[in-house]
Amino acid sequence: MHHGQDIDVLVSEVAPRDGLQSIKATMPTPLKLRWISALADAGLREIEVGSFVPAKLLPQMADCAELVAHARQISGLFVTALVPNLRGAQAAFEAGVQKITLPISVSEPHSLANIRKTHAQVFEEVQAVVALRNERFPGVEIEAGLSTVFGCTLQGVVTDDQSLAMAVKMAELGVDEVGLADTVGYANPAQVRRVFTRLRNELGALAGSAHFHNTRGQGLANVVAALEAGVTTFDASQGGIGGCPYAPGASGNIVTEDLVYLLESMGLRTGVDIDRLVAAREWLRQGLPGEALYGFIPDAGVGKNFTYAKEAV
């Protein structure tokens, strides 16, 4: 957790990875670099800059090592990347990331469909990644990002017990934190409060971030429920890009601009300047012309009586 004393909630920007990897077009690297700089300049402290996967699978992510090198030069920015396996983890470690996130499906059918691995194979892989980190790259953090926690299009219902058992298993294998993701947009606030409360009770300091989708319009309601359960780190995507929306016209990921407004208006400090954040969209428009961008705040502006959250006295 890299909150520092001057913020209450860490907003982790995932658009350069989760957004770009689900868009067919590839954003030119020079524009990505300027975009990442603009996001950091708006006050974002953590950015997931890409994923370390074979370029032939995801050409959009081929420049990930270059983006890491650039982002590491930005003072005060914590640089993370998604990695699907040991080979990706090694590439990420060598590129200089400060944290990797391993996507772990609670639903075994989803795991098989997504990465063609059984749970037993996934556990072996996580163990190997942790061993490599411990041996050669101490200090780099490893997060297990549990997906399909709140339901799965393939398995259907995913029980709280299944999710918690997977979280505990990840902790036993040596990861530093366990985050929970609503991969398919099934979560509701009552479920979110319940599951994150249990996660904190069972894992303590290892309980990590929340990653919600707005596929069915529940994204920010789920954020408030997670806040009530003690969550202090949230993933979001500029313009709501990515997140595999299944419904036409629906955004997938929750919109960073709207999340920052929600938190600040509730008196929670994010360290992010909304005007600068909205201005950073310009690089997205240039890099992905014609791509739909979402968000209420960029369209409506902040309310007349809006004030940023104040320093705690």
Catalytic residue annotation: 244
Residues near 50 by beta carbon (within 8 Å), at least 6 away in sequence = 16, 17, 20, 21, 61, 63, 64, 67, 68, 81, 82
8-37 burial, b for 16+ CB within 10 Å, e for fewer? bbbbbbbbbbbbbbbeeebbeeebbbbbbb
Strands (E), 106-206: 141-147, 177-181
| DSSP sequence for 7-41 | -SSEEEE-IIIIIGGGSSSPPPHHHHHHHHHHHHH
Residues near 292 by beta carbon (within 8 Å), at least 6 away in sequence = 241
Tokens of 74: 């930005």
Under a CB-based contact definition with an 8 Å cutoff, are residues 239 and 206 in contact?
A: no
Compute the distance between CA of residue 286 and CA of residue 282 in angstroms, rounded to an integer: 6
Compute the distance between CA of residue 298 and CA of residue 200 in angstroms, rounded to an integer: 34
Under a CB-based contact definition with an 8 Å cutoff, are residues 167 and 146 in contact?
A: yes
